[in-house]
């Protein structure tokens, strides 16, 4: 019987259930904050996150694109209006009045640029009541709106120049191309849109304002690109080619996707919590740098984009694994990065011992999401493949939701630690009581069934209530927990040992006193020993609601679940003690 009692005492029967329920409660809390957990252990891992690698567009920024500048025919134009409403107009960079229809007709390159943006496009803008809603990619939606401000009608132009074929956008090539029929006897035309670098290398000439071909000045285009990108603008280039005769043209449209206000706050909160935030994007280096400066990544708040350290995908490809490990540790902004390079960056950070959260939305992001400790997929813009590969899905595609999930994860880690610190003295104390009885040749102070009762009843009605404990103040102001460190630090181990010793002295002492001096009989003495454990654990629960502050500072009624659990435990223990045995 002593062996059975010791075996029952040594096993925390309620621990698996308590851990599962605590994690499930954390999942429910995260879901209310727009983060859906697909794999339960990810809740605890979030609490140890040390690096968040985030995409820029849509996650750190609004993902509501608006074309603000157009460079065509050696002229710079500004575009007024915001969002997806067609209200707005096109003006010269120095002009204060909108360009008229006649003004636009005289600028062939500008019209060609807008036409390319509208035809090499899969998005539509639909009016529903007083609102204009986007169906498709935000970048393409901005191009549709810009063309409408010049008088182009989407459905009319697509009927005049029907699409015959398409090469969809691929991050590997950084462009999209469409083939259109201009009518019987007329050449077919290809429209191309993509990054300036990818389009520029495929062009041999540029159109002037009147539509005539001119020699391509690549250096001048790069200067324009850097000027636009340094203002935080995302720059796309457009080109066309007819068969036959051959003609080519290149123009730019620049659009802005401003940082989310909540993302700026979330980034600062993460950095205050010792979590480094790294931007990994496919955009131009200067655009990424400008947004990073506005977000305040790694202390670069307010810096000019040209001064922000940025590593491009081309540079990542040249680094060895050892070199990339150092670069990944010291750099906050990565631009023009291919999906396969995201995987290398994750591995480089993990070699430094980091717990990495990685965001992604495309099919090619799946390997990086699987490799990361926490893979985060986008619920709105993400692909099914990305969502299947991830541990967590953001229903609002917002970086602030990652910060909220990390905060909830830390709260879950705290509550799990509190439960372990609370439940271990019960098992250790019960084991010590059984060992003491064997050593002193005394009767067992508690039978195996009574030990099982104490373990199960207190774990469910008392310990489980710690899962509902609210997050402690300042939880996002402390450093992440070292994933390699033990759950119980030395002070907590000492606490467990002290409480176990007190339970041993109380239970064994009261048993011997009732049995030897009060002569109440073995069953009555065992009942007293059981009550000592239950009442001791009940009051110790109040001490475990916080591992750093007293119960008086956190408030007795800040977790009503604890009060309900204590009252329920007292009621059951009264029935256990005084109820009939048959």
What the block records as the tokens of 382 is 């993400």
What the block records as the tokens of 437 is 């009885």
Please write the tens of the pLDDT for every residue from 251-265: 777 777 778 888 889
Alpha carbon separation from 392 to 191, 207, 346, 378, 382 (Å, rounded): 38, 48, 17, 9, 12
* Per-residue pLDDT at 244: 65
* Per-residue pLDDT at 145: 93
**Fold topology of 66-256:** Calcium-transporting ATPase, cytoplasmic domain N (3.40.1110)
* Per-residue pLDDT at 67: 92
Given a contact cutoff of 8 angstroms between Cβ atoms, the answer to whether 60 and 260 are in contact is: yes
* Per-residue pLDDT at 581: 64
* Per-residue pLDDT at 517: 77
Range list for CATH 3.40.1110.10 in the chain: 66-256
- Average pLDDT over the chain reads 88
* Per-residue pLDDT at 250: 63
Helix axes 285-295, 218-229, angle to 10 degrees: 10
Interatomic CA distance for residues 47 and 408, integer angstroms: 8
Helix axes 321-330, 339-351, angle to 10 degrees: 80
Catalytic site residues? 55
Residue 167 pairs in a beta bridge with: 177
Range list for CATH 1.20.1110.10 in the chain: 2-26+404-578
Given a contact cutoff of 8 angstroms between Cβ atoms, the answer to whether 149 and 86 are in contact is: yes
Q: In this structure, which CATH number among 3.60.21.10, 1.20.1110.10, 3.40.50.300, 3.40.50.1820 belongs to the domain 2-26+404-578?
A: 1.20.1110.10
Q: Is the pLDDT of residue 544 over 80?
A: yes
Interatomic CA distance for residues 468 and 446, integer angstroms: 31
Interatomic CA distance for residues 99 and 81, integer angstroms: 14
Interatomic CA distance for residues 43 and 77, integer angstroms: 49
pTM above 0.85, yes or no: no
Interatomic CA distance for residues 210 and 337, integer angstroms: 37
Given a contact cutoff of 8 angstroms between Cβ atoms, the answer to whether 427 and 11 are in contact is: yes
Q: Which helix (H) or strand (E) holds 319?
A: none
**Exposed, middle or buried by CB within 10 Å (0-12, 13-18, 19+), for 568?**
middle
The total of other beta-carbon atoms located within 10 Å of residue 27's CB is: 20
Q: What are phi and psi of 357, to 5 degrees?
A: -105, 130
Range list for CATH 3.40.50.1000 in the chain: 50-60+259-397
Interatomic CA distance for residues 349 and 326, integer angstroms: 9
DSSP 142-176: HHHHHHHTTT--HHHHHHHS-EEEEEEEETTTTEE
Q: Which of 314, 419, 403, 362 lies closest to 20 in space, CA to CA?
A: 419
* Per-residue pLDDT at 315: 93
CATH class of the domain defined by 50-60+259-397: alpha beta
Q: Which of 188, 261, 252 lies closest to 226 in space, CA to CA?
A: 252
Contacting residues for 166 by C-beta, under 8 A, at least 6 apart = 176, 177, 178, 179
Given a contact cutoff of 8 angstroms between Cβ atoms, the answer to whether 67 and 146 are in contact is: yes
Please write the tens of the pLDDT for every residue from 111-149: 999 999 999 999 888 888 878 888 888 889 999 999 999
The total of other beta-carbon atoms located within 10 Å of residue 20's CB is: 12
What the block records as the tokens of 291 is 């947004």
Q: Is the pLDDT of residue 358 over 90?
A: yes
Detail the DSSP E strand segments found in 420-566: none
pLDDT band at residue 30 under the 50/70/90 scheme = very high
Contacting residues for 517 by C-beta, under 8 A, at least 6 apart = none
Q: Which helix (H) or strand (E) holds 68?
A: strand 66-72
Please write the tens of the pLDDT for every residue from 229-286: 888 888 999 999 987 644 455 677 777 777 888 888 999 999 999 999 999 988 888 8
Detail the DSSP E strand segments found in 270-382: 276-280, 311-312, 333-335, 356-360, 374-378
Q: What count of Cα atoms within 13 Å lies in the side-chain half-sphere of residue 580? A: 1
The total of other beta-carbon atoms located within 10 Å of residue 536's CB is: 19
Q: Is the pLDDT of residue 381 over 80?
A: no
Output the CA torsion 138→139→145→146 (10° steps).
Answer: 160
Q: Which of 406, 582, 572 lies closest to 480 in space, CA to CA?
A: 406
């Amino acid at each position: 019987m002593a062996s059975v009692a010791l075996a029952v005492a040594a096993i925390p029967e309620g621990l698996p259930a308590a851990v599962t329920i605590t994690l499930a409660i954390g999942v429910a809390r995260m879901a209310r904050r727009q983060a859906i957990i697909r794999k339960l252990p990810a809740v605890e891992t979030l609490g140890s996150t040390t690096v968040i690698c985030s995409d820029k567009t849509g996650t750190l920024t609004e993902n509501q694109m608006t074309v603000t500048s157009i460079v065509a025919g050696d002229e710079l134009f500004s575009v007024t209006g915001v969002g997806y409403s067609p209200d707005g107009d096109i003006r010269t960079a120095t002009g204060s009045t909108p360009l008229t229809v006649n003004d636009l007709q005289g600028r062939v390159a500008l019209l060609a640029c807008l036409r390319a943006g509208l035809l090499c496009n899969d998005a539509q803008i639909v009016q529903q009541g007083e609102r204009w809603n986007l169906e498709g990619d935000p970048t393409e939606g901005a191009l549709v709106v810009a063309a409408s401000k010049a008088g182009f009608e989407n459905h009319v132009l697509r009927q005049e120049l029907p699409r015959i074929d398409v090469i969809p956008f691929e991050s590997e090539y950084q462009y999209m191309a469409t083939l259109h029929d201009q009518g019987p006897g007329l050449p077919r035309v290809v429209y191309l849109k993509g990054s300036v670098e990818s389009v520029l290398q495929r062009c041999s000439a540029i159109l002037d304002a009147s539509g005539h071909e001119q020699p391509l000045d690549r250096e001048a285009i790069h200067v324009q690109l850097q000027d636009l990108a340094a203002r935080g603008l995302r720059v796309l280039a457009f080109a066309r080619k007819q068969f036959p005769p051959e003609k080519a043209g290149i123009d730019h449209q620049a659009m802005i996707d401003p940082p989310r206000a909540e993302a700026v706050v979330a980034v600062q909160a993460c950095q205050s919590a010792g979590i480094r935030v790294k931007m990994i994007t496919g955009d131009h280096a200067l655009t990424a740098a400008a947004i990073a400066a506005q977000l305040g990544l790694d202390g670069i708040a307010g810096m000019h984009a040209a001064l922000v350290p940025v590593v491009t995908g081309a540079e990542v490809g040249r680094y060895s694994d050892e070199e990339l490990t150092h670069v990944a540790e010291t750099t906050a902004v990565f631009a023009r990065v291919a999906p396969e390079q995201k995987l290398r960056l994750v591995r480089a950070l993990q070699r430094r011992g980091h717990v990495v959260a990685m965001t992604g939305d495309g099919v090619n992001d799946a390997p990086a999401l699987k490799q990361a400790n926490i893979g985060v997929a986008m619920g709105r813009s993400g692909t099914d493949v990305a969502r299947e590969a991830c541990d967590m899905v953001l229903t609002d595609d917002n970086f602030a939701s990652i910060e909220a999930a990390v905060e909830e994860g830390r709260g879950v880690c705290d509550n799990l630690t509190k439960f372990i610190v609370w439940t271990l003295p019960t098992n250790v104390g019960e084991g010590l009581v059984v060992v003491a009885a064997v050593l002193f040749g005394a009767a067992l102070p508690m039978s195996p069934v009574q030990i099982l009762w104490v373990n199960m009843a207190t774990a469910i009605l008392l310990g489980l209530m710690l899962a509902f404990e609210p997050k402690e103040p300042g939880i996002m102001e402390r450093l992440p927990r070292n994933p390699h460190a033990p759950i119980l630090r030395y002070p907590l181990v000492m606490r467990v040992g002290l409480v176990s010793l007190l339970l041993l002295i109380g239970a064994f002492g009261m048993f011997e006193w009732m049995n030897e001096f009060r002569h109440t009989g073995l069953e009555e003495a065992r009942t007293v020993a059981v009550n000592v454990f239950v009442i001791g654990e009940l009051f110790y629960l109040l001490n475990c609601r916080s591992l750093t502050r007293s119960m008086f500072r956190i408030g007795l009624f800040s977790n009503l679940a604890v009060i309900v659990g204590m009252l329920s435990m007292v009621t059951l223990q009264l029935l256990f003690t005084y109820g009939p045995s048959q």
